[in-house]
Structure 1
């Protein structure tokens, strides 16, 4: 069963996934223009894009443990998931920049004075080199350094969930759940390596 599933995953055309991914921001824009996003469509669009982008980053981190634990492999989709996650988070930033704050001086002040904005910007900056090298040419050119560079996904994900938690108002379970999941995935990624090293030593 899982072999059939993995075979189907490998045959999915990547261009089709990118086209489907482009529909979500278009749907949000349409709903924002037609009143479907409530009384503050800009904030609703900004939060929706950031949240789905974060969910995709978490999904990308889940791929490796999922394969190890179940044999189900979403590896052929990992690059698409990462690029779309960056695209959504970049749009999240653009909506905040262009439609929400708008005033350049206020944007810079927010980045410097509001910790959740500072954390979010740091996470976005970490994603920039990952998006820029998410192509076959960069993989060939960077060689082993490509994998080391793309470990930035882990701190970027941590900053993303902290940003989400910090900007949430009041006590909410959902941001805390994201924090627990991402910290758990980071621990899963690094703790086994330490255990293996201790056995060798």
Structure 2
């Protein structure tokens, strides 16, 4: 009992900086850096011979990176005993949605010229695009239900059940990436992201089991 009571006090100084008011704006600014780099690179013609493809690829990469970071919040919170980390999860999740939306917009506008008939035919011809659209649809639902008012409206258990579909988003995002790379037979990055996502998803139940003992 004494150990349990001392634990929060021992952790408080270490976690105090996470509660400072400047931390969230700093994280917000850091999450916007990839967008600033992409805009700057496009404006200065540093995206190579195919700028549209470079923007599509980069926005997709940053979607996956931020998704991994958002999924890492709970394992890090449990492993390090830092409950204050949870306050950044919603912001990171919304940035995942933002970059996923940017990814699809770059494809639909820069690559396909917003020609929706052509987009429909392209989706039918290339299944990885359909998988990506499904992932974006789920992310849209999660973003729309992320405000605290939606938690009260849906009820805590139902809201938590809905937001566990982020695991499905991760699987769809990985499948999208794998199908895209299958044509080039280049799976090195896919395996890296797959291993990272698998580790993050398995870490949650393992850490909860360890802490419950």
Provide the secondary structure at the position in 2 that maps to 1:39: coil
- Cα–Cα, structure 1 residues 175 and 92, in superposed 2: closer, same or farther, change >3 Å? same
Equivalents in 2 of 1:107, 1:20: separation in Å? Answer: 33
- Aligned counterpart for 2:124 among listed residues 112, 124, 134: 112
Equivalents in 2 of 1:176, 1:138: separation in Å? Answer: 36
Q: Does 1:96 align with 2:111?
A: no
- Residues paired across the two proteins, number: 195
- Aligned counterpart for 1:84 among listed residues 95, 101, 110: 95
For residues 59-114 of structure 1, what are the alpha-carbon distances to aligned partners after superposition, in whole Å with 9 as ceiling and x for unaligned? 11111112222224521111110001110110010010111112221111122221
Instruction: State the TM-score, normalizing by the size of structure 2.
Output: 0.81
Per-residue deviation, 1:16: 4.8
Contact 1:31–1:37 (Cα < 8 Å) also in 2: yes
Segments of 5+ residues of structure 1 without an aligned counterpart are 197-201
Rg (Cα) greater in structure: 2
Provide the secondary structure at the position in 1 that maps to 2:146: coil
Per-residue deviation, 1:172: 3.4
Provide the secondary structure at the position in 2 that maps to 1:63: helix
Segments of 5+ residues of structure 2 without an aligned counterpart are 1-9
User: RMSD value over aligned CA atoms?
Assistant: 2.4
Counterpart residue number, 2:17: 8
Contact 1:56–1:81 (Cα < 8 Å) also in 2: yes
Instruction: State the TM-score, normalizing by the size of structure 1.
Output: 0.85
Per-residue deviation, 1:57: 1.0
- Aligned counterpart for 2:57 among listed residues 47, 59, 70: 47
